[in-house]
């Protein structure tokens, strides 16, 4: 095992990354990022419709060669490395990013006729053109199949598989009709590498199917025909092209074809794992296991946990998804998240530009915010500038800053925005625990967790938990590489189980952020006020008077200032 | 009357203005502003206590000569003017700005011993050192004398006469003991001009006494001894130095002394009107009469009305003051206001500096805000960054901006802040009308009313009323000049009554802002949401769910964007 390697392929929104990893201990010996060639940084947009976001699948193909070749070249500098020691490949992608393909599994976008029609491209995760269709799916399921909604937190999203396909059917029937089936790119890319793109052969991953396409063994896989019929009869025909089984990342999509092996210069016949979403394999790359909450904190967050498959797990209201095997095979995969975190700080810096461009950088605002004690600003923010994913599952919520005076500074607002996202994070953690999924450790990954220690300290203080930081800065790619090591198996020099692989190949930094009890005490008081606002603005059930809110904030502020 | 003139002296926070006016038609022929010499732009501050704000009375004396001499010099260019045609003087000042004086009426600040002690100076209106004493006065009155509170909106302010004096007693007993009495500068300056500073001789104006010192004929003038005894027995002694009678601006404080006449070069013996506050005489200068709401819009607002003295006027909850004769003799004077208006816009520009210093000027933000339709931003603001004066009378309220997204711009926030102040203005207008004081016209004065047409249009649309703009840009000084014309009387070439004088000497601009019914319809919807937030955050009585608020704002926004 000492000298074996795997490759993780990580398809992001703007680029693809290949990472070459030592199987023994997860050491990352080489990586290469290739930026997509189409559209604006890989995203094909429509100036007339800000909700539209597509990708050309040619970028996915070109990205395989470009990124892996680049990484292999860099890996050549590592003495123990040799391309023939690569034993497996794993793939993670954005999602739900469904792609219309023909009977051979070839994207319609590759046809001359469709080459300029974005509806024939991949519908990128952040495409929001299907808001009306998502609402229709939610309301139809609420009437006909409430159990579908119970697994996805109660609301079907415009970002997801069926909403996008139904929208295509409404706005571009020729594309819908020309497509034999639709496939998540998380499934299509491994199929390409293994020559299994024929729809009858192509394996579909339970991560995408379960979280985004309402696939569940409780009702025999994809949504039942009577439900799809109600949405549109054409979807019943489409359903016939979808398999009854979905696979976990413990399964191989197939083995690397000779053509790809020759082109890349690595062994043919090595297994390629079934694909999964970047966040989920990022959880794997961060060391997820029962009791560990992995928080991927970037422009938005993904807050993942797994629960043992033999646990009696109730439906958890407001959780985006509970899918057996979607993160680790054998465990329930649970996904929650915040619609915007870094995006809120970016909004403040880039749209408001407080204090001018120089004084208003993240660095400058962090310096000002660092000087403040908890509660000292008198401010309280609701972190809903992009709606609320968990636990309210409501896109039509908005952000708020309360407690403004004639002396409120940009640094104070910046800190309040950070604290608002921390309170939102605490709501998610508490929801997990309220339903029996105990959080013993919190491991953070993603850009913000590495770049901004102040934010991590605030999170530690607000959540009242130690914040650990994933050792890897490319956890999605590392998780994919781990998948490659597991599907390769012990005999090839990999691992028999994810338990072993994760234990050996992941880790956390020595730097940990420990809650300060005094700060936590203040934040507990602020969190009560946050919750009061959260429930009165975010739910229909809770009525209250709010006379206390501004007063309490001023009392807390005055006490903080006196210290 | 054709060739007679009066002088209005207007003592502001940073400077004093002298205005020379034609009695016939109010034409302003000359003015001169003199900036105070002491402290920071006239305000003596304490770096250790941001609540402290004092003024040295020497500035009031020096300001008489400097401003009047300058104005007279300029008036010399007007052929019809001659100094001996000046028939009267009026004085307005900030307030409540009480000054400790000795048995001769000489300020303690003029003693060598006290010259560096700010407690011996005038306690400027915006001094907030007496918060605790104000709360004590309010709670004591609530128990012993609720009728005292009914005339001042329910809460005694830290800005007012008794709170400041009581605070001086607590923190600097030597100054309190050295003072024979305390006098509002609105009373002291006319006394100086007329040689009547001896406390037994000095007339006290009902404007200051009634609005700030709880003077009312219903209980025989200043607060009763048993009440003051309860606050502190030393106040009972002080009360004995205060007169039983208070005067309106129809009365002369006395006549100009020979010394001042010689020094200024105007006739001795001309009457000097009893002083009043700048806002109130600004109301007179804006043409106040029953049915006219005069809004003085600057950093904060003063919203004044008068009601006929023979009207059965109830106490109006939340109104700062209802005092017979305080604005126009014979009418009830009613005062309401917003704690911050221009100050909120200034905060956004100066503290947040959105878009950098260039892009974030009032002019640039106004250009952006002008492009927006009502409701288009999806934002709603509470205008409480400096508390709420009317109708909540609560300093411990704070500002709020709700409806933030990842695309919210500075121009949108700027407009929302303006709209927030307009909604606050509408609450005040509706409170007047709810209690039988009908608003037939709205006349605006003050910096913002002249400088920013967009704001005035928004006010017209939000209030659903035509906004008129006072012809004079120095309404306080004009009101004082009118007072000079009335105390001079008809025989001297002035007027017999304020009704005549105001009708002849004031007017409005031709430019009027008329409500657009479509805009008003949108603002009516936003105002309902504002009221919902106003009552749930601002009162103890109102409980509600707020699930509708963000949703309704988005619906209104989406409709506005489609137009």
d(CA B236, CA B229): 6
pTM assigned to the model: 0.92
Please indicate whether, in this complex, the C-beta atoms of A355 and B352 are within 8 angstroms of each other: yes
pLDDT at B357: 57
Burial classification of residue A139, based on how many CB atoms lie within 10 Å of its CB (0-12 exposed, 13-18 middle, 19 or more buried): exposed
What are the structural domain ranges in chain B? 5-279+475-509, 289-471+516-563
SS3 B113: helix
Q: How far does CA B466 lie from the centroid of its chain?
A: 23
Matching CATH topology for A5-279+475-509 and A289-471+516-563? yes
Distance from CA of B545 to the nearest CA of A (A): 4
What mean pLDDT is predicted for residues A298-324? 91
Name which of A493, A469, A489 is nearest A287 in CA terms. A469
Between A1 and A174, name the one with better pLDDT: A174
On average, the pLDDT of chain A sits at: 96
Q: Please tell me which of the candidates A356, A398, A536 has its beta carbon nearest to residue B405.
A: A398
Chain A hits for B346, Cβ within 8 Å: 406
Task: Give the CA distances from residue A182 to residues A106, A178, B20, B353, in Å, rounded to whole numbers and listed in that order.
Answer: 11, 11, 84, 49
Please indicate whether, in this complex, the C-beta atoms of B378 and A398 are within 8 angstroms of each other: yes
Q: Which own/partner contact pairs does B487-492 have at CB distance under 8 Å and 24+ positions apart? A: B487/B88, B487/B90, B487/B249, B487/B250, B487/B251, B487/B252, B487/B271, B487/B272, B487/B273, B488/B4, B488/B6, B488/B23, B488/B87, B488/B88, B488/B270, B488/B271, B489/B271, B492/B4, B492/B87, B492/B88, B492/B270
Give the position of tokens 């009581």. B166
Closest residue in A to B549 (Cα–Cα): A537
What mean pLDDT is predicted for residues A268-289? 97
Thinking of the domain A5-279+475-509, which architecture would CATH place it in? 2-Layer Sandwich (3.30)
Chain B hits for A547, Cβ within 8 Å: 536-540
SS3 A500: helix
Identify the residue among A417, A529, A550 best suited for mutation to test binding to B, counting B beta carbons within 10 A and taking the highest: A550
d(CA A276, CA A187): 8
Closest residue in A to B385 (Cα–Cα): A405
How are beta strands B276-277 and B292-297 bridged, if at all? unpaired
Closest residue in B to A408 (Cα–Cα): B351
Which CATH code, of 3.30.420.40, 3.30.460.80, 3.20.20.70, 3.40.50.300, is assigned to A289-471+516-563? 3.30.420.40
Chain A hits for B380, Cβ within 8 Å: none
Please indicate whether, in this complex, the C-beta atoms of A536 and B551 are within 8 angstroms of each other: no
Between A322 and B262, name the one with better pLDDT: B262
Please indicate whether, in this complex, the C-beta atoms of A403 and B398 are within 8 angstroms of each other: yes
- pLDDT per position as a tens digit, B5-31: 999 999 999 999 999 999 999 999 999
pLDDT higher than 70, residue B356: no
Closest residue in B to A382 (Cα–Cα): B402
Please indicate whether, in this complex, the C-beta atoms of A347 and B406 are within 8 angstroms of each other: yes
A1 confidence band (pLDDT: 50, 70, 90): very low
Task: Give the CA distances from residue B250 to residues A135, B206, B242, B247, B301, in Å, rounded to whole numbers and listed in that order.
Answer: 70, 11, 20, 8, 25
What mean pLDDT is predicted for residues B320-344? 93
pLDDT higher than 70, residue A503: yes
pLDDT higher than 50, residue B141: yes
pLDDT higher than 90, residue A516: yes
A6 and A485 in contact (C-beta within 8 Å)? yes
Q: Which residues of B185-200 are buried (b: 16+ CB within 10 A; e: fewer)?
A: bbbbbbbbbbbbbebe
What mean pLDDT is predicted for residues A502-523? 97
- pLDDT per position as a tens digit, B438-448: 999 999 999 89
- Which residues are CB-neighbours of A515 under 8 A, at least 6 positions away? A460, A461, A463, A464, A465, A466
β strands within A36-153, DSSP E: 44-46, 49-55, 86-93, 98-101, 122-123
A358 confidence band (pLDDT: 50, 70, 90): low
Closest residue in A to B392 (Cα–Cα): A547
Q: How far does CA A387 lie from the centroid of its chain?
A: 16
- pLDDT per position as a tens digit, B465-505: 999 999 999 999 999 999 999 999 999 999 999 999 999 99
pLDDT at B562: 86
Chain A hits for B343, Cβ within 8 Å: 406
pLDDT at A153: 79
Take residue A138 and report the two structure tokens written for it: 């939610």
pLDDT higher than 60, residue A114: yes
- pLDDT per position as a tens digit, A210-267: 999 999 999 999 999 999 999 999 999 999 999 999 999 999 999 999 999 999 999 9
- pLDDT per position as a tens digit, B420-444: 999 999 999 999 999 999 999 999 9
The alpha carbons of chain A give a radius of gyration, in whole angstroms, of 23
d(CA A345, CA A416): 10
Please indicate whether, in this complex, the C-beta atoms of B353 and A351 are within 8 angstroms of each other: no
A355 confidence band (pLDDT: 50, 70, 90): confident
Q: Please tell me which of the candidates B400, B541, B554 has its beta carbon nearest to residue A402.
A: B400
Identify the residue among A299, A397, A547 best suited for mutation to test binding to B, counting B beta carbons within 10 A and taking the highest: A547
Q: Please tell me which of the candidates A354, A543, A553 has its beta carbon nearest to residue B352.
A: A354
Identify the residue among A347, A358, A406 best suited for mutation to test binding to B, counting B beta carbons within 10 A and taking the highest: A406
B1 confidence band (pLDDT: 50, 70, 90): very low
Kindly report the CA angle at B434 between B428 and B437, in degrees rounded to 5?
Answer: 80
Closest residue in B to A545 (Cα–Cα): B543
Please indicate whether, in this complex, the C-beta atoms of A547 and B539 are within 8 angstroms of each other: yes
Percentage of chain A lying above the pLDDT 70 cut: 99
B196 and B202 in contact (C-beta within 8 Å)? yes
Please indicate whether, in this complex, the C-beta atoms of B402 and A398 are within 8 angstroms of each other: yes
pLDDT at A154: 85
Identify the residue among A546, A548, A552, A562 best suited for mutation to test binding to B, counting B beta carbons within 10 A and taking the highest: A546
Take residue B368 and report the two structure tokens written for it: 């952006």
Please indicate whether, in this complex, the C-beta atoms of A398 and B554 are within 8 angstroms of each other: yes
Identify the residue among B50, B380, B389, B547 best suited for mutation to test binding to A, counting A beta carbons within 10 A and taking the highest: B547
Chain A hits for B356, Cβ within 8 Å: 353, 355-357, 360
């Amino acid at each position: 095992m000492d000298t074996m390697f795997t490759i993780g392929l990580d398809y992001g929104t703007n680029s693809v990354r290949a990472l070459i990893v030592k199987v023994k201990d997860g050491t990352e010996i080489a990586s290469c990022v290739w930026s997509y060639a189409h559209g604006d940084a890989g995203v094909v947009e429509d100036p007339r419709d800000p909700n539209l976001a597509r990708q050309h699948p040619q970028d996915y193909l070109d990205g395989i060669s470009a990124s892996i070749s680049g990484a292999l070249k860099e890996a050549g500098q590592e003495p123990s490395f040799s391309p023939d020691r690569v034993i497996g490949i794993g793939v993670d992608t954005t999602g739900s990013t469904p792609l219309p393909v023909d009977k051979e599994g070839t994207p319609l976008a590759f046809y001359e006729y469709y080459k300029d029609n974005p509806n024939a491209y991949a519908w990128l995760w952040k495409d929001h053109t299907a808001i009306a269709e998502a609402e229709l799916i939610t309301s139809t399921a609420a009437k006909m199949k409430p159990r579908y909604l119970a697994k996805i937190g109660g609301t079907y999203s415009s970002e997801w598989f069926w909403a996008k396909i139904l929208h295509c059917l409404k706005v571009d029937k020729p594309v819908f009709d020309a497509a034999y089936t639709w496939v998540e790119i998380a499934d299509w890319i491994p199929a390409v590498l293994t020559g299994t793109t024929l729809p009858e052969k192509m394996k579909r991953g339970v991560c995408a199917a379960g979280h985004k396409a309402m696939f569940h063994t409780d009702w025999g896989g994809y949504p039942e025909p009577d439900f799809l019929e109600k949405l549109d009869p054409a979807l019943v025909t489409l359903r016939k092209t979808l398999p009854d089984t979905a696979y976990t990342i413990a399964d191989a999509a197939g083995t690397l074809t000779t053509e790809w092996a020759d082109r890349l210069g690595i062994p043919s016949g090595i297994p390629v794992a079934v694909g999964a979403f970047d966040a989920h394999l990022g959880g794997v790359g961060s060391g997820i296991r029962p009791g560990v909450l992995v928080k991927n904190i970037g422009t938005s967050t993904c807050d993942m946990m797994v629960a043992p498959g033999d646990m009696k797990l109730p439906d958890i209201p407001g959780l985006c998804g509970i899918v057996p095997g979607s993160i680790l095979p054998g465990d329930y995969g649970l996904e929650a998240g915040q619609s915007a975190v870094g995006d809120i700080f970016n909004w403040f810096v880039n749209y408001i530009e407080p204090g001018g461009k120089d004084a208003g950088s993240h660095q400058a605002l962090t310096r000002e915010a660092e000087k403040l004690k908890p509660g000292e600003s008198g401010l309280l923010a609701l972190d809903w500038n992009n709606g609320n994913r968990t636990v309210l599952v409501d896109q039509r919520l908005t952000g708020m800053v309360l407690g403004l005076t004639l002396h409120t500074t940009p640094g104070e607002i910046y800190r309040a925005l950070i604290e608002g996202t921390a309170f939102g994070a605490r709501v998610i953690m508490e929801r997990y625990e309220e339903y029996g999924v105990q959080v013993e450790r919190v491991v953070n990954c993603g850009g913000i967790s590495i770049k901004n220690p102040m934010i991590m300290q605030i999170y530690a203080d607000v959540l009242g938990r130690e914040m650990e930081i994933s050792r890897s800065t490319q956890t999605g790619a590392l998780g994919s590489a781990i998948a490659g090591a597991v599907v390769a198996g012990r005999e090839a020099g990999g691992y028999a189980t994810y338990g072993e692989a994760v234990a050996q190949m992941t880790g956390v930094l020595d730097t940990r952020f420990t809650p300060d009890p005094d700060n936590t005490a203040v934040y507990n008081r602020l969190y009560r006020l946050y919750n009061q606002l959260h429930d009165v603005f975010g739910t229909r059930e809770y009525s209250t008077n709010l006379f206390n809110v501004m007063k309490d904030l001023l009392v807390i502020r005055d006490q903080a200032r006196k210290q």
